[in-house]
Amino acid sequence: MAKLRGDRRTYSRRWFLGAIGASAGAAGLAALGCEDVEEDFPGNLTPTPLEEAYPSYPSTPAPLPTQAQQKSRHGGTLRYAAAFSSDQQFDPHQTTSAALVGQHALTYSRLLTYESQVDGKLAPDLAKGLPEQPDELTYIFHLNPEAQWQRVEPLNGRPVTALDVVASIDRQRSGRAKDFPRKGRWDPVAGIEATDDLTVVAQTAEPFAGTLARFASPEGFVIPIELEGSLSPTTQVGSGPFRWVEWSEGSYASVARNDNWFGPEDGPFLEGISIVPPRSIEELEADFRTRAVDAVEAGFLQAQELKRRLPNLREARSAVARFYGMRFLCSRPPFDDPRLRRALTIAIDRREMLERFFQGSGVLNPWISTAVRRWSLPQAELQRKAGYRPGDGGRELDLRDAQAALSAYQAATEEDGLQSEPYELLVTSNLEETLGMGGLIASQLRETLNLQVQVKTVAIEDLTNRLSQGEAPWAIGVDNGWIELDDWLYPYFHSEGKGNTFVLRDEEMDALLVDQRSSMSAERRQAIAYEVQQRLLDLNVGANFVSEDVVTLFQPYVQLFPVDAAEGYQDRFSKTWIDRTHPTYL
């Protein structure tokens, strides 16, 4: 997310969950007397009432009324201030940079796209419509015959074909996981073929409810195979609404209108989009007043100050899937003991974290971030769980439970003659320098449980290696999050999941995760999602603590400025336009 106080997009690489760990069993909570019992608040505590459910924001603010004299929506360049950086992987299938995914979404097309990530609503992109499904294993896509590559060398506007789609997917399916970080998302797809120039047929080995999401997510970007291995900051050729112009790391990036685009409504309407890093409040105020900038992503306090100075600015707030969380390697002492995991997890004050990091502009999460409201456990249920109870009374009850769990653990370890303190907590250097997340957790646990925590900062590459080798017993970090339910669950919590670094082994959990994969009922999948999250909150193998709100301010003349829960929605800038009749534009 872009912030005036520092760029956090540099942490978008999925080190947190993506590495493959060793396997081991996790002891059951009930066997050790640590089951999470639902209980009412005791009479001597006075927690505040349950907070309202987290507010939802529209994916795109509605446009203001337009003066009748504007004949066309076409014209104008959107100038957007947002912090951005990359991982220097400019291939859309290889990058894990949130900023690059967003820029690629402007340039490349997919068979499908999200009309709303928050609601999981899909829409056609390269495909003429949603696929035909003659059975639960077969998906038949018909390509839009008007789709063409941009008119630059070496594509020169040739049609996008079914072979382009198949090649873009097969290179990931057959490639190495180290080269294609989203390769595993294609595992449920047993085969894909082009039956003619405009028809793609995909087959799954068994019913998989997340199939369509594969074709609408970043792994679904269709690239010209002629340029495989040649994509760079200066070479990007797609079939999307905008044409890549330039990318200068941390300095500026821009796209221009693709006049050859096949999309609806004669879009895109903008001539281009230019992105520059945000500057000081004073400089941004001057830029807004002179129309040198049309929009900015800002932190909560910065946004409030800008709105105080410029009250006419419009605001779009979006809850996001990206989260700050924690994970344990449950096969490694002392974290193989669920009593210790429980004590540590519920003693951490998530609300203080939210205030310290984001001035309260955000939300507490169950395992699935609240922004993904189709699947996230409702706040009313979450606030009954230890670690999330509201008010001073709720916090007191959380600490009482944490101290009881720790006492039970310490009594057992004293009998065995074990000594585990200080506990080492791993955190990436950049995250600690920016937010001090490790230091905050260490101070909270010292004050509430009298535990000594040693915070060790490491480079992100080092932490990635430790996770892959099963050498990161306790770590905190940030992850982009996901939109599709299966992406949150199966890879990380099924016994055979390739990303199960926790390392959880639970037969009931496995059965639930298989069920949500095969069920084509959204209602059934939602019920499973809630049950799994309740179970994860009891097991305490990891925690999703908080997510920040993205706050975007923009000039009143900017219409249909899109926001959503995760990167990859930026193709919807094709609908954005500048109202040149608005008084603030004149």
Name the pairing type of β-strands 362-364 and 542-554.
antiparallel
Residue 444 burial (CB count, 10 A): 18
Q: How far apart are CA 443 and CA 422, in angstroms?
A: 13
Run of H or E including 244: strand 242-248
Q: Rounded to whole angstroms, what are the CA distances from 323 to 74, 255, 281, 480, 536?
A: 37, 29, 26, 6, 16
Model-level pTM greater than 0.85?
A: yes
Best CATH choice for the domain 10-29+321-548 from the list 3.10.105.10, 3.60.90.10, 3.40.1480.10, 3.30.70.20? 3.10.105.10
- For position 172, what pLDDT does the model report? 98
* Tokens found for residue 395: 């916090």
- For position 550, what pLDDT does the model report? 87
Q: How far apart are CA 448 and CA 345, in angstroms?
A: 12
Q: Where are the beta strands (DSSP E) in 339-399?
A: 362-364
Q: How far apart are CA 542 and CA 199, in angstroms?
A: 43
Looking at residue 159, the DSSP 8-state letter turns out to be: B
Reading the chain (586 residues) residue by residue, the pLDDT tens digits are 333 333 333 333 233 333 322 222 222 323 333 333 344 444 445 455 455 444 455 556 777 665 556 778 999 999 999 988 899 999 999 999 999 999 999 999 999 999 999 999 999 999 999 999 999 999 999 999 999 999 988 999 999 999 999 999 999 999 998 899 999 999 999 999 999 999 999 999 999 999 999 999 999 999 999 999 999 999 999 999 999 999 999 899 999 999 999 998 889 999 999 999 988 999 999 999 999 999 999 989 999 999 999 999 999 998 999 999 999 999 999 999 999 999 999 999 999 999 999 999 999 999 999 999 999 999 999 999 999 999 999 999 999 999 999 999 999 987 665 556 799 999 999 899 999 999 999 999 999 999 999 999 999 889 888 988 899 999 999 998 999 999 999 999 999 998 898 989 999 999 999 999 999 999 999 999 999 999 999 999 999 999 999 899 999 999 999 999 999 999 999 999 999 999 999 8
> Which sequence spans correspond to the domains of the chain?
10-29+321-548
Q: How far apart are CA 85 and CA 353, in angstroms?
A: 25
Looking at residue 200, the DSSP 8-state letter turns out to be: E
Name the pairing type of β-strands 542-554 and 314-319.
antiparallel
Q: How many CA atoms lie within 13 A of 550 on its CB side?
A: 29
* Tokens found for residue 84: 């951005």
Q: How far apart are CA 175 and CA 177, in angstroms?
A: 7
Name the pairing type of β-strands 542-554 and 295-298.
antiparallel
Q: Rounded to whole angstroms, what are the CA distances from 386 to 202, 272, 276, 402, 548?
A: 44, 49, 43, 9, 21
Residue 45 burial (CB count, 10 A): 16
Residues, the chain, total?
Answer: 586
Name the pairing type of β-strands 542-554 and 323-328.
antiparallel
